[in-house]
Structure 1
Amino acid sequence: MSVTSERRAAASAWQRVASLAKRALLVELRIYANIVRFVARRPAVAPGAVGFGYHQPVMTVLVVFIVLSAVEIPVIDLIVHRWPAVRIAMLVLGIWGVTWMFGLLCGYLMRPMTVGPAGIRVRQGLELDVALAWDDIASVARVKVVDEPKSPRIETTDAARTLVLRMQDETNLRIELERPTVVRLPGHAPKGGDQEITALRLWVDDPKGFLDEVRRHL
C-alpha cells in the first residue's frame, strides 16, 4: 500500500470514528430531550396531525429492564460500599443506565408515527424519522406480515425495494410510494445513509385508526 493510500485509509477511519461519536452524542441528547417532552407532556406531533404509537409490543420488555436496572443500583451499592471509588463509579453508571432506558421508553412514547395535512411521518426509536408527503404516497393498506428474526431492514425484489420497520418481527401496514424515493436512515451504507425505496412496511398499535386518519387526507 502506498503512502497516499495509507493516508486516505487513516483519514477515512478517523472520519468514521468522528461520525460515530457525533451520532452517539446526538442519541444521548435525544434521550434527555425525550424525558423533557415526557415531563412536559409535549409529544412531537405537528399542529393538525394525529399521533399513533408503535410501542405496545416492546413496552413490557422496556419496563422490566428499567425496573431491574433500578433494583440493581442499591444491590450493587451494598456489595461495593467498602470501596468508595468503585461505589461512586457504579452509582454513576447505574443511574446513567436507568436514565438511558427511561429516555428510550420516552422516545417511543413522545415520538409517535403521525398522520396530518403535510403527510405521514414514520418514526422508530430515537433516530429514525422519515417524512412522506401525500404526493409521494400511492396507497396505504393493512397487511400483517411476520418475518424471520434478523431479517434485513431493506427488502429488495425485482418489483420493489421496501423499508421494513418491524416490532417483534411483525408489521401490519404497507405504504406504497408513487415513485422511487430517497430516505435517510441512521448509520452508514449499506444498511444506513441515503436509501432509495419504493414502499414501506411498518407497525402501529392502532392500524384501523391510522387508516381512518389517512383516508381524511389521501
Structure 2
Amino acid sequence: MNLRLPAPVAGIVRHEMTVLLAFGLWVARRRHGVRRGDGNRVFGYAREQAALMYGFAFACVVETVGLAYLLRDWPAVHQVVLFLDVYTVVMIVGLQAVSVTRPHVLGPTSLRVRKGAHVDLRIPLDNVTAVRRELRTSHTRTEGELDLDIGAMTSVTLELAAPVERVTLFGRTQRVTVVRLHAEEPDALVRELRSRMEVREVEVQP
C-alpha cells in the first residue's frame, strides 16, 4: 500500500531534506544544478543575510547552553529540549547553506530563480519582456507577483509576457507575471540577461 502524504506535509518534508542535503554541497563547495562548461552563469544572493543567520545560530547556541544548565536536574526534559535546540541550530545554519548552494542560474534559454529551499522557478528567456535594476526595500503581497527578497530587499525586477506557475511549499499553485529577486551582482545579472535575450531574438528571426 502506497502512503501518500498530504501536500503541506510532503512540502515540509521536502524542504527539510533539501536543507539538510545542502550541507554536503556546502562542504564540497558545489552548487545545485550547476555544471562546468554548460554555459551557465551563477548569481548568488545569500551574502546579505549571512550575518543575521549566523547571529541567530549563535543566540540559539547560547540558549542551548543556558537551558542545559537550568534543566540539569530533569534529565528527560533536558534531552528533549537539547534535541530541539540542536535541531534548530542545524536548520538555521542549513538555511544559509541551502541559500549559498542554490543560487540563481542564467542559462542560454532560461533563468532559474531561487530562494533557498522555498523557491526554484525556471523562466524561459523568450517569456521575459523586461528586466531592470530596481532596488526595493518594502514589498506588498500582490496577486501575480513573486518577491524573492533577502532581508526585505530585492534588486532586480522581471516582467513576463505570460504567467509561469510555481507550486508553493504547502502545495498551492501560484501564477506569476512579475518576479522581483535579489542578486549580489544585480547590474551584471541585468546586463547578461539582456544580452542573452537579444541573442534569443536574433536566433528566432526568420
TM-score bracket, normalised by the shorter chain, equals: 0.7 to 0.9
Partner of 1:90: 81
Quote the offset at 1:216 in angstroms. 4.0
Q: Contact 1:119–1:132 at 8 Å: present in 2 too?
A: yes
Give the unaligned 5+ runs of structure 1: 1-14
RMSD (Å) for aligned C-alpha atoms: 2.1
- Which of these residues, 66, 72, 84, is aligned with residue 81 of structure 1? 72
Report SS of the residue matched to 1:93: helix
Aligned to 1:198: 177
**Within-5 A mapping of 1:54-133:** 54-133=45-124
Corresponding letter in the other structure for 2:163:
T
Q: Distance in 2 between matches of 1:41 and 1:170?
A: 26
The amino acid that maps onto 1:95 is V
Tell me the matched-pair count: 191
The gaps in structure 2 that reach 5 residues or longer are 198-206
CA-CA distance at 1:128 after TM superposition = 0.6
Q: Higher RCO, 1 or 2 (CA under 8 Å, sep at least 6)?
A: 2
Residue 83 of structure 1 deviates from its aligned partner by: 1.7
Work out the CA distance in 2 between the residues paired with 1:106 and 1:138.
32
**Aligned to 2:168, which of 186, 208, 213?**
186
- Within a 5 Å distance, the mapping from 1:28-47 to structure 2 comes to 28-47=16-35
- Structure 2: which amino acid aligns with 1:166? D
Structure 2: distance between partners of 1:87 and 1:147: 41
Offset, 1:165: 2.2
After TM superposition, give the deviation of residue 26 of structure 1 in Å: 1.0
Q: For 1:196, what is the secondary structure of its paired residue?
A: strand
Percent sequence identity over aligned pairs:
25
Is the contact between residue 123 and residue 164 of structure 2 (CA under 8 Å) also seen in structure 1?
no
* Contact preservation (8 Å) 2:12, 2:169: no
**How far did 1:86 drift?**
1.5
Q: Residue 214 of structure 1: which of 187, 193, 203 is its match?
A: 193
Which SS does the other structure have where 1:147 is aligned?
coil
Distance 2:77 2:15 in 1: 27
| Bigger shift: residues 78-87 or 161-170 | 161-170
Q: CA–CA distance in 1 between the matches of 2:34 and 2:126?
A: 18
